[in-house]
Amino acid sequence: MGISERMGDVLGQAVESKLLREVKEHTIKVQHLAIIMDGNRRFAWKSNIATGIGHRIGKEKLERVLDWTLEIGIPWLTVYALSTENLNRPKKELETLFKLYDEGLRDIADDKRIHENKVKVQIIGRRELLPKHVNDAIDYAEQRTADYDQFVFTVCLAYGSREEMVDAIRSIAEEHAAGDLKLEEINEKAVSKRLYTGEMPDPDLVIRTSGEERISNFLLWQMAYSELYFSDVFWPSFQKKDLLKAIRTFQDRRRRFGE
C-alpha cells in the first residue's frame, strides 16, 4: 500500500469516527432502522463474479451492519432479505439463497455477540413458501434468542407488504364475522396489531441501497411517516460511513408526521 492510500485510509477513518461521534451525541435517535438490501446481483455482474458470490458477500455485509447498529445503539433493525416476488427467480439462484439463509440464521443464533447484547432474532413473512431446512434454521434462531429484549433483529423472508395487509384484512373479517370484533373497533390500531409487525414500532428511517428509489412492497403500512434515504452503492459495497451519513441526514430532517 502506497503513502497516498495509507493517508486515504487514515482520513477515511477520521471522517468515520467524527460521524459516529455526531450520531451518538445527537439528541435525535433512530429507534427502528429498516433496510432494503439491494444490489447483490448487480455487484456480482459489475465485479465479474458469480451471482452466488455476490449474495454471499451481501450476507457477510449484513453481519457487519448488525454490528454497526449494535455499536450505535439502535434497538430495532429490520431487513428485507427475500420478497415474495423474488421467489420467481431461477431455481439455482434460489437454492443458493436458501442455503445462505440457513447458514446465516444458524451462525447468528450461535454468535456470542448476539447473546452478549441480548438480541432477539425473528423472521416475518410467509414461511410456508420456504423450504423445510430454512424453516428449521428460523426455528433454531428464534428459539435460541426468544428470551432477549435489548435489541430486535427482524429478517423479512418470503415477505410482501400487500400480502401482509391481505392477511390482516382476513383476520379482521374472520373476527368480525364471528362476533369477536365490532365494526366500530376496526381502526388503524386494529390493523397494525394484526400485521406481522404487530408488536414492533414503525420504522423511523428506511434505507435502500443500489440507487433504486422505490420501496418495492416493503412495510407499506408501517412506512407511512418514515424518513427515506436512498444510497447509490450496491449492498455488498455499503460501508459504515454510508450508514452513518444516512443517520445524520435523518437527524437533520424535521419529521412532520403528516402536519
Instruction: State yes or no: is 86 an active-site residue.
Output: yes
Active-site annotation holder among 38, 102, 204, 242: 38
Q: Which candidate in 67, 86, 139, 217 is catalytic?
A: 86
Q: Can 117 be counted among the known catalytic residues?
A: no
What pairing do the DSSP bridges indicate for beta strands 205-208 and 119-124? Answer: unpaired
Q: Which residues are catalytic?
A: 38, 86
